[in-house]
């Protein structure tokens, strides 16, 4: 006998009828910690925050033109500023009332998003991707704050590193849970803070889950050869929507393809 469904319940792969966004839990952030960790878009005192406003507008334009929403953020090697870019861009986006953004910590071998925001979490992204816990267990909004971080941003936080990130990304189940998250929460933009592209094959394994890529080059770190190899690995069918030159002299958008 078929049983009746209560709101919010999932039946197999059917999307839930209710919009779960409003029910997501929230966390509070400390402005001092954010400032210390270079979340420059929060207080807006660092002039570089303007670069993220420009990046935000250009990205939204490109996504709207192409009908995309899933953006991977990567760099050739670690330490170039992927997480820095991801957080600052996400906060800039959160100030648009009519745009829902989800930022996912997908650098599974080196989770750092929660730490950047000074947050302690006890949920694991790997468990979400393995379908063991629902999206709402790892997603958190930022509660009322003086920094104008909007309620239109949800952060997918992770506290435990995964040794088998590439294998996990390749599972059909991973595609399924990410698709379900999109259906249930209806984000306009999903930013995936990815691992470095040249370190392992994690970014190659993640390709099916993104529409396009933002590339972060680390000033004084990244060589032209590494950038070329990164673009080659990402592949032509996942276009690079923008290149951010970070740490050179603040932050600048070096190239914008769309
Ligand atoms: N524009 C910048 N100016 C100064 N420090 C930066 C800048 N961008 C990133 N950093 C710092 O460099 C380190 C690496 O940045 P992070 O975003 O964690 O790199 P990734 O995620 O690519 O490994 C962090 O300590 C971060 O605070
Ligand atoms: Mg990082």
For residue 111 and ligand 1, the question of a CB distance below 6 A is answered with no
Backbone φ and ψ of 31, nearest 5°: -55, -35
80 lines ligand 1 (CB under 6 A): yes
Rounded CA-CA distance 248/171 in Å is: 38
Element holding 72 (H helix, E strand): strand 70-74
| Residues that place a CB less than 5 A from ion ligand 2 | 82-83, 107, 112
Ligand 1: which of 84, 87, 219 to mutate, most ligand atoms within 8 Å of CB?
84
Q: What number of other Cβ atoms are within 10 A of residue 39's Cβ?
A: 24
pLDDT at residue 8 in the model = 44
Q: pTM of the full predicted structure? A: 0.92
Query: pLDDT confidence of 258, banded at 50, 70, 90?
Result: low
Give the model's pLDDT for residue 247.
80
Average pLDDT, the chain: 90
Per-residue pLDDT band for 250 (boundaries 50, 70, 90) equals low
Q: Over 50: is that where the pLDDT of 244 sits?
A: yes
Give mean pLDDT, residues 41-64: 89
pLDDT for residue 257 is more than 60: no
Residue 193 Rama label (left phi>0; alpha psi -120 to 50; beta): beta
Residue 163, burial from CB neighbour count under 10 angstroms (0-12, 13-18, 19+): exposed
What is the pLDDT at residue 48? Answer: 80
- What is the set of domains in the chain, with CATH numbers? 21-256 (3.40.50.300)
Instruction: Compute, in angstroms, the gap from residue 134 CA to the centroid of ligand 2.
Output: 24
Compute the distance from residue 16 Cα to the ligand 2 centre, in Å.
32
Binding site membership of 222 for ligand 1 (Cβ less than 6 Å): no
Going from the Cα of 1 to the center of ligand 1, the distance in angstroms, rounded, reads 56
Ligand 1: does its nearest atom lie under 6 Å from the Cβ of 47? no
Q: What percent of the chain has pLDDT over 90?
A: 78
pLDDT band of residue 50 (cuts 50, 70, 90) is: confident
Mean pLDDT throughout 29-45?
A: 88
Q: What is the pLDDT averaged over residues 139-147? A: 93
* Chain segment 189-226, per-residue pLDDT in tens: 999 999 999 999 999 999 999 999 999 999 989 999 99
Q: How many CB atoms lie within 10 A of CB 6?
A: 7
C-alpha 82 to ligand 2 mean position (Å) = 5
Distance 83 CA to ligand 1 centre (A): 7
């Amino acid at each position: 006998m078929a049983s009746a469904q209560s709101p919010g319940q999932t039946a197999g792969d059917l999307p839930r009828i209710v919009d779960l966004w409003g029910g997501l839990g929230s966390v509070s952030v400390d402005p001092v910690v954010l400032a210390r960790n270079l979340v420059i878009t929060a207080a807006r005192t660092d002039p570089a925050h303007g670069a993220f406003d420009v990046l935000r507008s250009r990205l939204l334009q490109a996504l709207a033109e192409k009908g995309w929403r899933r953006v991977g953020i990567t760099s050739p090697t670690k330490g170039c500023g992927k997480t820095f870019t991801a957080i600052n861009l996400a906060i800039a986006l959160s100030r648009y009332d009519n745009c829902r953004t989800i930022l996912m910590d997908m650098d599974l071998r080196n989770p750092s998003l929660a730490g950047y925001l000074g947050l302690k979490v006890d949920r694991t992204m790997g468990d979400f991707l393995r379908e063991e816990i629902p999206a709402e267990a790892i997603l958190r909004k930022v509660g009322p704050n003086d920094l104008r971080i909007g309620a239109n941003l949800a952060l997918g936080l992770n506290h435990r590193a995964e040794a088998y990130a590439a294998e996990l990304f390749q599972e059909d189940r991973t595609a399924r849970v990410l698709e379900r998250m999109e259906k249930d929460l209806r984000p306009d933009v999903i930013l995936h803070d990815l691992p470095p592209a040249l370190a392992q094959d994690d970014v190659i394994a993640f390709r099916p889950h993104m529409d396009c890529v933002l590339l972060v080059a680390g000033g004084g770190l990244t060589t032209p050869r590494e950038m070329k190899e990164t673009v080659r690995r990402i592949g032509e069918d996942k276009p690079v929507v923008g290149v951010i030159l970070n740490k050179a002299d603040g932050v600048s958008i070096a190239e914008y393809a769309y």
